[in-house]
Amino acid sequence: MAFLKRFFASGSLFIWLSGGALACSLLLIGGLLTLIFINGMGYFWPKDLVQLTLKDGTMVLGEMVDTQRIPGTVSTEFPEGQTRIQLKVGNRDLYGLDFRWIDEESIAQRAWPHDVVAFERREWGNFYGWISEVWEGDARLAQSREEAWNAFYPLLEQTESIHEEIHYIERDVIGAINYEIERARLNLKELELKGENLSRDSAASLQQDIQTREAAYQQQTQRLVGLYEQLNRYRVTLIDVAGKEKSFPVGGIVKAWRPNQMSVWAKIWMYAANFWGVMTEEPREANTEGGIFPAIFGTVMMVLIMSVVVVPFGVLAAVYLKEYAKQGLLTRMIRIAVNNLAGVPSIVFGVFGLGFFVYAVGGSIDQLFFSASLPNPTFGTGGLLWASLTLALMTVPVVIVATEEGLSAVPREYREGSLGLGATKLESLIRVVLPCAMPGILTGLILAVSRATGEVAPLMLTGVVKLAPALPVDSLFPYVHLDRKFMHLGFHIYDVGFQSPNVEAAKPMVYVTTLILVLVVLLLNMTAIALRTRMRKRYAGSSV
């Protein structure tokens, strides 16, 4: 009893309690990050392919994905219960399913065939099997499996360069032509709208312009047709473990590798290449495959635009509230309102952004400046600018509060010292007070960036799309297209994970995207924190 009493009185209980709470939080955060990291990073590793012979004689080939105990199978014979394994068998075009569960009990034999090939295809997901034949038109180039692989591999590299050319023509050349045609068409329409006094010459020259570009467009399309024909010139016959054959153009294959004979170094190299590919490529197959570069780009771009807007706004508001406004009931109420604004659900901001920015502001801009293209909206629909502004509005309270705190932390002596030297209030603010409050302002920015990067709900109303046809920055005037719709990592997670037709195949992509979202947040924050540390060092306390 006495011991307990002393224990309580000493406060040890409280120390244990608070320490435990901290440990729990850290554990949860650590667990979350570990889960995302393991699941996300595992995606890039080229796994071995296992060939199972089942007791009924069928053969299955695939990557082992998961192992699971079958519920209710504990018996004297199996004290631990029976297990089943999940195989990614690929070959969706042959069997309709990518994944299969197989009871361990039904497996007669396991093998890791040396020469098995894994293919990543542009359509239908992965194929696991062998190449039996290679064809050029009707001529057979190779017959045995080994010969076929050797003949196939150089063809793959060749088609890769054709794909790059096609991509370049479609995206850049034809994109530019279309853009010019659209502009000329709009100019023409504008002239027509102006009515009678339009000069015939300029209209005719615009018409002429459109016609020459149309011709150029036709020419490029011809080129594309030729390239596509080249892609389909070589075909391979793929054969799977059950002996089913499938003829496939080489151009339809992205990558092929033989995981069971790759060394660890080769796998590491491929791992890095896969990672790089995801970071830099565009998505394919309803976002479940390929890369997520547009989403990364869109996220970073949006956050940057938001920061550029939110910092000046928040700082100016805070400066007025703290330095100029007469402190009283009104300022107190405004502070309360600002704090409450930070707690408003983000979807509410989304609705506001849609109603105000998109329809009211964007609609008016369209009426005034883009009337020629109406009824097609230019700014009157969701876009990068409106999404950024909506998020800026959402995060401005955070910046205001942090800036106010930063301003309060500036010693009165600095202000008075500056005023005593004949500075006006504005001069003191700009030259002494604001630089000293910079660390506080940056803290606000860090919080704002963290919140904005992870936000999805308001974006869905103001400009995020599943698949944006073009990046918001390109080589066409005016280079930065704030009216364009964009992709976002947060929305990408939602879309891939819950809106895709093949959820099981998309699962790793969800983790990868989540991981990269976390990394982007980390990177953006680290930049701001590094900046803040530098500022803090420079403005470290002046006291002796």
Partner 1 sequence: MEIARNSLEKAVPPAKAPGAKSLRVIVETRQTNSVKKTVSESQTATHPCADMPTKILIQDMNFYYGTVQALKGVNMTVPANKVTAFIGPSGCGKSTLLRCLNRLNDLVDGTRVEGTILLDGENIYRPEVDATDLRTRVGMVFQKINPFPKTVWQNVAYGPQLQKIRKRTILDTIVEESLKGAGLWEEVKDRLHASALGLSGGQQQRLCIARALAVNPEVLLLDEPCSALDPISTGRIEELLHTLKERLTVVIVTHNMQQAARVSDLTGFFLLGELIEFDDTKKIFTNPNDSRTEDYVTGRFG
What residues line the site for partner 1 (CB under 8 A)?
Answer: 326-327, 411, 413-425, 427, 431-432, 435-436, 538-544
Distance CA 272, CA 433 (A): 48
Shortest distance, position 331 Cβ to partner 1, whole Å? 12
Distance CA 260, CA 117 (A): 8
Give the total residue count for the chain. Answer: 544
Return all residues near 330 (Cβ < 8 A) that are at least 6 apart.
Answer: none
Shortest distance, position 317 Cβ to partner 1, whole Å? 20
Instruction: Tokens for 527, please give them.
Output: 């930049």
Shortest distance, position 332 Cβ to partner 1, whole Å? 15
- H-helix segments, 128-248: 145-168, 174-194, 200-231
Closer CB to partner 1, 175 or 435, in the complex: 435
Q: Strand locations in 295-357, DSSP E?
A: none
Distance CA 489, CA 497 (A): 12
Shortest distance, position 534 Cβ to partner 1, whole Å? 12
Closer CB to partner 1, 419 or 531, in the complex: 419
Shortest distance, position 390 Cβ to partner 1, whole Å? 37
Spatial CA neighbour of 488 closest among 306, 365, 359: 306
Closer CB to partner 1, 141 or 423, in the complex: 423
Instruction: Tokens for 94, please give them.
Output: 């042959």
Shortest distance, position 408 Cβ to partner 1, whole Å? 15
Closer CB to partner 1, 4 or 540, in the complex: 540
Do 237 and 147 form a contact (C-beta atoms < 8 A)? no
Spatial CA neighbour of 481 closest among 364, 396, 388, 375: 388
Shortest distance, position 406 Cβ to partner 1, whole Å? 14
Residue type, position 193, single letter:
L
Tell me if the bond preceding 458 is cis, omega within 30° of 0: no
Closer CB to partner 1, 195 or 541, in the complex: 541
Shortest distance, position 437 Cβ to partner 1, whole Å? 12
Shortest distance, position 439 Cβ to partner 1, whole Å? 11
Closer CB to partner 1, 170 or 427, in the complex: 427
Do 234 and 101 form a contact (C-beta atoms < 8 A)? no
Shortest distance, position 269 Cβ to partner 1, whole Å? 49
Closer CB to partner 1, 104 or 323, in the complex: 323
How deeply is 127 buried, as exposed, middle or buried, from its count of CB atoms within 10 A (0-12, 13-18, 19+)? buried
Sheet with strand 107-111: strands edge to edge: 99-103, 83-88, 59-69, 50-54, 107-111
Q: Strand locations in 307-400, DSSP E?
A: none
Return all residues near 3 (Cβ < 8 A) that are at least 6 apart.
Answer: none
* DSSP single-letter state for residue 125: S
Distance CA 335, CA 337 (A): 5
Total Cβ atoms within 10 A of residue 474: 16
State how beta strands 126-136 and 117-121 pair.
antiparallel
Closer CB to partner 1, 115 or 413, in the complex: 413
Shortest distance, position 346 Cβ to partner 1, whole Å? 38
Return all residues near 386 (Cβ < 8 A) that are at least 6 apart.
Answer: 353, 357, 358, 361, 362, 379, 462, 463
Distance CA 388, CA 13 (A): 48
